[in-house]
């Protein structure tokens, strides 16, 4: 903490996993609520789990979980997936994966760990409960830019708007990686952004 004086700044704060923002989510994080199937799938060997989301990341998580869990229920608020056709085809052909369409998770319940989730069908309003040992949340990313509101131009989702040189509206302030508007959200692209930002930051300082 403290104040620092710099001739140039590169902002590369990245993104955080978007949360559901429902009762029980914080309480059971690490106790059945997870944001990373690659990290935690093994702990749910032969147990039923749920995945919240319908994009590429969510369905890829579901496919990975199907290697371990007894059943994977994908809960999606729409009536179709947003994942690519190839990923969808793999998921639809996986016998351990089933889908709850037009459905949202309203609450996560349990004792020492998660044991069920409360669901609501968005079209009919019908509510139900689903017994699971865990739920994996994969509903997108949120850029860590709250502290930049009113300081730098951000797009509607909160990503920093830059030029191809990673320049922001403020001279000497650059942004790189996932935090940047129109970033492909790939490691190799973020590394390239960082290199570009460093080159132009150096040029800015030299001037």
Active-site residue, 36 included: yes
What is the rounded CA–CA span in Å between residue 191 and residue 150? 27
The phi, psi pair for 126, rounded to 5°, reads -65, 135
Catalytic annotation present for 144 = no
β partners of residue 120: 104, 127
Give the residue from 102, 122, 139, 101 showing the smallest Cα distance to 25: 139
Residue 39 annotated to the active site? yes
Q: Which of 15, 40, 178, 193 is catalytic?
A: 40
In contact, 120 and 22? CB cutoff 8 Å: no
Of 205, 157, 174, nearest to 9 by C-alpha is 174
Query: H helices within the chain, ranges in order?
Result: 37-40, 56-65, 85-92, 187-206
Active-site position among 36, 112, 155, 178: 36
Q: Annotated catalytic sites, by residue?
A: 36, 39-40
């Amino acid at each position: 903490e403290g104040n620092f004086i710099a001739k140039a700044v590169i902002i590369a704060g990245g993104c955080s996993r978007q949360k559901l923002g429902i009762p029980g989510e914080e309480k059971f994080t690490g106790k059945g609520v997870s944001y990373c199937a690659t990290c935690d799938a093994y702990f749910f060997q032969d147990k039923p789990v749920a995945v919240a989301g319908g994009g590429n990341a969510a369905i890829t998580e579901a496919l990975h979980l199907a290697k371990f869990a007894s059943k994977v229920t994908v809960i999606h608020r729409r009536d179709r997936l947003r994942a690519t056709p190839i990923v969808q085809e793999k998921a639809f052909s996986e016998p351990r994966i089933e889908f709850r369409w037009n459905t949202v998770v309203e609450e996560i319940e349990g004792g020492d760990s998660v044991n069920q989730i409360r669901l609501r069908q968005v079209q009919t309003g019908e509510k139900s409960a689903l017994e699971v040992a865990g739920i994996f949340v994969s509903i997108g990313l949120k850029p860590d830019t709250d502290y930049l509101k009113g300081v730098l131009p951000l797009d509607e989702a909160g990503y920093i708007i830059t030029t191809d040189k990673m320049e922001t509206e403020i001279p000497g302030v650059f942004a790189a990686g996932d935090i940047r508007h129109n970033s492909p959200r790939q490691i190799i692209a973020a590394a390239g952004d960082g290199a570009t930002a460093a080159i132009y930051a150096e040029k800015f300082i030299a001037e």
